[in-house]
């Protein structure tokens, strides 16, 4: 086999391309089996799908490792499972974690409730403040965690400071890059040790699977695998097969998500009923320059602040005909939600505003539809001439 690295589109389709045996299936076989026949007397590891060694699970993990440029990878039952197991692989009770404050609500809940319960202390910092990262490191600190691009204001975090600290103090830097996918951003190329992704989103991309993945060194993945077995977090073979099916079109889907995101964001920025657009591809975004440098695409996620607050948001959402009002993101269909009722539920209106989420903020996941249809639906829902009026 040639040692040449293949491009991301080829890798997402073939993994490492190889000559296929005559009469072998072109599409990967789905081995929907919990267990496999054992040779009598064999002392080799048994094949059992909870162990993550079903060939469907193994092939998917190899392909994802190639896409991230990682030594190894593993798929588990959800994005939350991936975050929990990756962090538990590097942290012990008594250890300290420094985390960006700009993270998914479910991850924060994991830290505030479960990690607190097992004696893992978490300090939250504002990730664009290098001094805060440095000041927060203690003797017991073992790991740094951040998410980029962030949900839902699409801040793009510079990995430089965290990566430098990780090297200096021998810490593990873990990055949740769900909103980018390895097509748009590969954290390991920027000094991260571990990548976490909710495969529920772009990797699968069809709104029909819950799954997560972790990529990093072989020893890290081995530890995640050990935890996955005992905590019962393996991905079901059918889910793994569906993620692989989604992965094969990842590169072309991301190209369309990226272009639809940009087209919709540029249109939205001109609408009188929309007071602010959060999209890293727009020069008005606070991280535009960094995003242009480190991302290969700006993604399909757009944050919109509507004139008229909650009432305007609800009125607009009720009028939509094409864009689906649902949580989650990254499907073929455009999805829209109000973070105040989903990822940021439980925070007061003031606390949300401090995070850059005023009332009237809606999060749009641009799907793969024709961009003019997404725009036409938004325009009619916003009211006459897109002015946000009744």
Ligand X SMILES: Cc1ncc(COP(=O)(O)O)c(C=O)c1O
Q: Which of the residues are catalytic?
A: 50, 104, 176, 201
Stretch that binds ligand X, among 20-28, 73-81, 109-117, 187-195 (CB under 6 A): 73-81
Q: Does the protein bind ligand X through residue 237 (CB under 6 A)? A: no
d(CA 19, CA 3): 15
Measured CA to CA, the distance from residue 310 to residue 316 in angstroms comes to 10
Q: State in angstroms the smallest separation of the CB of 40 from ligand X.
A: 40
Is residue 338 part of the contact set for ligand X (CB under 6 A)?
Answer: no
Length of the chain as a residue count? 390
Element (H, E) at 182: helix 181-184
Measured from the CB of residue 44, what is the shortest distance to ligand X in angstroms?
32
Q: Is 104 in the site for ligand X (CB under 6 A)?
A: yes
Task: Pick from 65, 76, 80, 291 the residue near ligand X by CB under 6 A.
Answer: 80
HSE, CB side, 13 Å, CA atoms: give it for residue 107.
Answer: 28
In the complex, minimum distance from the CB of residue 184 to ligand X, in angstroms, rounded to a whole number = 14
Q: Which two tokens stand for residue 325?
A: 């009002």
Of 124, 130, 92, which Cα lies nearest the Cα of 111? 124
Does position 100 interact with ligand X (CB under 6 A)? The reply is no
By CB under 6 A, residue 210 contacts ligand X: yes
Q: Distance (Å, rounded) from C-alpha 8 to C-alpha 182?
A: 8
Q: Which of 133, 228, 198, 125 is nearest to 171 (CA)?
A: 133
User: Per CB under 6 A, does 184 bind ligand X?
Assistant: no
Interface residue with ligand X, options 212, 273, 308, 360 (CB under 6 A) = 212
Q: Select the residue whose beta carbon is closest to ligand X and give its number.
A: 79
Nearest-approach distance from CB 103 to ligand X, in angstroms: 7
Say whether residue 316 binds ligand X (CB under 6 A): no
Nearest by Cα to 90 from 180, 220, 195: 220
What contacts 123, CB < 8 A, 6 or more positions away? 96, 97, 98, 99, 136
CB of 87 to ligand X, least distance (A): 12
Tell me the site size for ligand X, rule CB under 6 A: 14
Which two tokens mark 274? 């929309």
- Options 33-41, 76-84, 132-140, 236-244: segment touching ligand X (CB under 6 A): 76-84
Residue the block writes with tokens 């005909």: 321
Contact 154, 265 (CB under 8 A): no
As a whole number of angstroms, the distance between CA 17 and CA 13 comes to 9
Q: How far is the CB of 77 from ligand X (least distance, A)?
A: 8
130-169 binders of ligand X (CB under 6 A):
147, 151
Q: Which of 57, 198, 260, 365 binds ligand X (CB under 6 A)?
A: 198
Question: Does residue 204 touch ligand X according to CB under 6 A?
Answer: no
Q: Indicate the residue among 156 and 382 with the shorter CB distance to ligand X.
A: 156
Counting contacts by CB under 6 A, is residue 271 touching ligand X? no
Nearest-angstrom CA–CA distance, 109 and 221:
24
181 binds ligand X (CB under 6 A): no
For residue 79, the minimal CB distance to ligand X (Å) is 2
Q: Which of 106, 130, 286, 309 binds ligand X (CB under 6 A)?
A: 106
Kindly indicate which of the ranges 67-75, 77-85, 90-98, 125-133 contains the residues binding ligand X, using the contact rule CB under 6 A.
77-85
Q: Is 178 in the site for ligand X (CB under 6 A)?
A: yes
Whether 95 and 120 have beta carbons less than 8 Å apart is answered as yes
* DSSP-assigned letters across all residues of 43-83: -SPPPBGGGT-SHHHHHHHHHHHHHHT-SEEEEES-HHHHH
Q: Distance (Å, rounded) from C-alpha 234 to C-alpha 275? A: 44
Partners of 345 in the β-ladder: none
Q: Is 223 in the site for ligand X (CB under 6 A)?
A: no
State how far the Cα of 49 lies from the Cα of 61, in Å rounded to an integer: 14
Tokens standing for 211? 């799954």
Answer yes or no whether residue 78 interacts with ligand X by CB under 6 A.
Answer: yes
Q: Is 64 in the site for ligand X (CB under 6 A)?
A: no
Q: Does 200 bind ligand X (CB under 6 A)?
A: yes
Q: How far is the CB of 172 from ligand X (least distance, A)?
A: 18
Binding-site ranges for ligand X (CB under 6 A): 78-80, 104, 106, 147, 151, 176, 178-179, 198, 200, 210, 212
């Amino acid at each position: 086999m040639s040692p040449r690295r293949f491009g991301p589109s080829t890798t997402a389709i073939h993994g490492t391309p190889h000559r296929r045996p005559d009469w072998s299936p072109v599409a990967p076989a789905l081995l929907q089996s919990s267990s496999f026949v054992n040779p009598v007397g064999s002392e080799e590891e048994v094949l059992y799908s909870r162990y993550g060694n079903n060939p469907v699970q193994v092939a998917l993990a190899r392909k994802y490792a190639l896409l991230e440029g990682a030594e190894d990878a593993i798929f588990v039952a959800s994005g939350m499972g991936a975050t929990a197991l990756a962090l538990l692989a590097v942290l012990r009770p008594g250890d300290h974690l420094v985390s960006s404050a700009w993270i998914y609500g479910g991850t924060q809940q994991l830290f505030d409730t479960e990690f607190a319960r097992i004696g893992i202390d978490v300090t939250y910092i504002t990730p664009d403040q290098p001094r805060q990262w440095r000041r927060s490191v203690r003797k017991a600190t073992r790991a740094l965690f951040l998410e980029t691009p962030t949900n839902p204001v699409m801040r793009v975090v510079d990995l430089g400071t965290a990566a430098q600290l990780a090297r200096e103090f021998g810490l593990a830097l873990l990055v949740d890059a769900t909103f980018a996918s390895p097509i748009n951003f590969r954290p390991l190329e920027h000094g991260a040790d571990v990548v976490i992704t909710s495969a529920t989103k772009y990797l699968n991309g069809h709104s029909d699977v819950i799954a997560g993945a972790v990529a990093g060194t072989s020893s890290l993945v081995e530890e995640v695998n050990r935890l996955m077995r005992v905590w019962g977090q393996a991905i079901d073979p059918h889910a793994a097969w569906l993620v692989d099916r989604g992965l094969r079109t990842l590169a072309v889907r991301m190209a369309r998500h990226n272009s639809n995101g940009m087209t919709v964001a540029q249109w939205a920025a001109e609408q009188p009923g929309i007071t602010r657009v959060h999209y890293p591809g727009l020069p008005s975004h606070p991280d535009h320059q960094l995003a242009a440098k480190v991302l290969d695409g700006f993604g399909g996620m757009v944050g919109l602040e509507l004139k008229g607050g909650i009432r305007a948001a609800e009125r607009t959402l009720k009028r939509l005909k094409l864009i689906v009002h649902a949580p989650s993101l990254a499907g073929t269909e455009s999805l829209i939600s109000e973070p105040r009722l989903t990822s940021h539920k439980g925070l007061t209106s003031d606390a949300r505003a401090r995070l850059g989420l005023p009332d009237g903020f809606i999060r749009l996941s641009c799907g793969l539809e024709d961009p003019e249809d997404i725009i036409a639906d938004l325009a009619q829902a916003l009211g006459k001439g897109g002015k946000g009026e009744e």
